[in-house]
Amino acid sequence: SITNNLKQYNMDRHIKNGMLSMGVWILFLVVLFGSYMTFTDSPFSDLLDEETGGFISGAFFLAWALIWFAIGKHYSRDYELKKQAFIKKYEAIDGNIVRSMFKKAYFSDIARMLSRVFFIAVPFYVAANVKDTVTLKNCIYIGILMIISIALYGYYKKNGTKEITL
């Protein structure tokens, strides 16, 4: 009974984390498109596709919201499973120290992966958006991608552990 309640609690927590991830994504889109519409004085209808009366735009929005729900739920489960395995592996060490070590190792691995993603995004951004001449806007976007990549790699190098692999 206790294990069933614990599983139910974990499932609910994973669903909540999926909802949180989806909510952050939706908030990001609202801020992004809201600021775009405000700065350009564009009506909301400019964001919707004309061919289907906004159906494709709505479906795209819903699909990405569900994708971010799945990402949040997956990483919540992944975090919990790896945390339990890590704690079991180092059960001779104080629990607070092990949890702290795990957080650093787990998030530094994610930072390393995201650092690579942002680094790889630079040439793809250049290929997709830089046509004849490089504009100030292009330089700003490329600089932001590079700064994020370097910062995440720095976090990985500072907090990563060589003897602990997840």
Which of 42, 64, 89 is the last residue in one of the domains?
89
Which of 55, 89, 123 is the last residue in one of the domains?
89
pLDDT in tens, 123-138: 999 998 888 888 888 8
Residues 84 and 123 in one domain: no
> Who's near 79: CB < 8 A, 6+ residues apart?
106
Q: How far apart are the first and last CA of the chain?
A: 31
Residues 6 and 67 in one domain: yes
Asked if pLDDT for residue 120 goes beyond 70, the answer is yes
Residues 112 and 55 in one domain: no
Residues 106 and 67 in one domain: no
Residues 103 and 78 in one domain: no
Between residues 44 and 143, which one has the greater pLDDT?
143
Between residues 8 and 52, which one has the greater pLDDT?
52
Residues 74 and 96 in one domain: no
Which of 89, 110, 139 is the last residue in one of the domains?
89
Residue 49 backbone class (left: φ over 0; alpha: ψ -120 to 50; beta: rest): beta
Q: How far is C-alpha 45 from the chain's CA centre? A: 28
pLDDT in tens, 22-61: 999 999 999 988 888 888 888 888 778 778 888 888 899 9
Residues 139 and 73 in one domain: no
Residues 80 and 50 in one domain: yes
Residue 162 is part of which domain span?
Answer: 92-166
CB 111 within 8 A of CB 152: yes
CB 102 within 8 A of CB 160: no
Residue 65: the pLDDT is 95
Asked if pLDDT for residue 114 goes beyond 60, the answer is yes
Q: How far apart are CA 42 and CA 33, in angstroms?
A: 10
Provide the domain count of the chain. Answer: 2
Residues 10 and 80 in one domain: yes
Q: Each residue of 30-64: b (16+ CB within 10 Å) or e?
A: eeeeeeeeeeeeeeeeeebeeeeeeeeeeeebeee
